[in-house]
Amino acid sequence: MTAPETAPIGVFDSGIGGLSVLKALQAELPHQRYVYLADSGHAPYGEREPQHIIDRTMAAVDYLIMHHGIQALVVACNTATAIAIHLLRVDHPQLPLVGLEPAIKPAAQHSRNRRVGVLATRGTLQSEKFRVLHAGLAQQTEFILQPCDGLAGAIERQDEDRITTLSAQYCAALGPCGSAPGLIDTVVLGCTHYPLVADRLQALLGADVTLIESGAPVARQTRRVLPHIATEGKSETRYYTTGRKEALQSAVQRWSQADALVSTLEI
């Protein structure tokens, strides 16, 4: 059954990282209603076993369908997309789904030096979905893959000291970056948490390095698949978390400059 025109778009992430995608969605589709679900009580996903990620993703989507009647779903998590979205498509064939993947294709097209760094979770980099994507582009561009253990979790906790330490560690591990021939001139932010600290990463990598993220392309794809597009009225977003609601409220206020009414839930 098709959801009504007033039905919201569901936006799901393991935690606060999907706020970077939600912001792009709100810019692209400013009159839509949204339900944002952060599974912060079970985050981060990037260092968890695949079955854990599948189980949590399925539970979150079932909740959004049953309790909010969403008309489309954005899986605003690279790891959940890589490991679980193919199963969601089987279980919910009528629900328009938009997932994320590290933007290595646009990065390859952008890079003049044909050297691209990829900062992502270990779960994303080890997934079959990423392996296939990478294999299809590896002949034309060299990708330096850097798993960033702990960085998404530090951003989730808003642990400034840990964010600073890990950001410096992983940016340095990529190797020399810049616009000169032979250097990495483009870096993919392959986890939705990372754009929340993009300014810090940019400062570490240098002004000549282009950062590529997935928010805007995902928002455009959502527009294409959406059954109903609202053309008037004020956007409304409801926020839910399986973790501490104060943490999500603080994150929304910090990175979206908006007030958030957050509810906690157990799923």
Q: What is the dihedral of CA 254, 258, 263, 264, to 10 degrees?
A: -20
Question: Does the annotation mark 171 as catalytic?
Answer: no
Alpha-carbon dihedral 11, 17, 23, 24, rounded to 10 degrees: -80
Buried b (16+ CB within 10 A) or exposed e, 20-30: bbbbbbbebbe
How far is the first Cα of the chain from the last one, in angstroms, to the nearest whole number? 24
For residues 107 and 116, is the Cβ–Cβ distance under 8 A?
A: yes
Distance, CA of 124 to CA of 161 (rounded, Å): 25
Is 46 marked as binding a ligand? yes
**Which of 148, 171, 177, 191 is flagged as catalytic?**
191
Query: Which 8-state DSSP code applies to residue 253?
Result: H
- Whether residue 78 is annotated as binding a ligand: the answer is yes
Residues 78, 212: Cα–Cα separation, whole Å: 14
Q: Is 14 annotated as a binding residue?
A: yes
256 has binding-site annotation: no
For 104-113, give one letter per residue: b (16+ CB within 10 A) or e. Answer: bbebbeebeb
DSSP 198: H
Instruction: Judge whether 57 is annotated as a binding position.
Output: no
Q: Say which of 77, 148, 171, 177 is annotated catalytic.
A: 77
DSSP state of 24: H
Q: Is 148 tagged catalytic?
A: no
Has 190 been labeled as part of a binding site? no
Q: Annotated binding site for substrate, which residues?
A: 13-14, 45-46, 78-79, 192-193
Would you please indicate which residues are annotated as catalytic (active-site) residues?
A: 77, 191
Q: Annotated binding site, which residues?
A: 13-14, 45-46, 78-79, 192-193
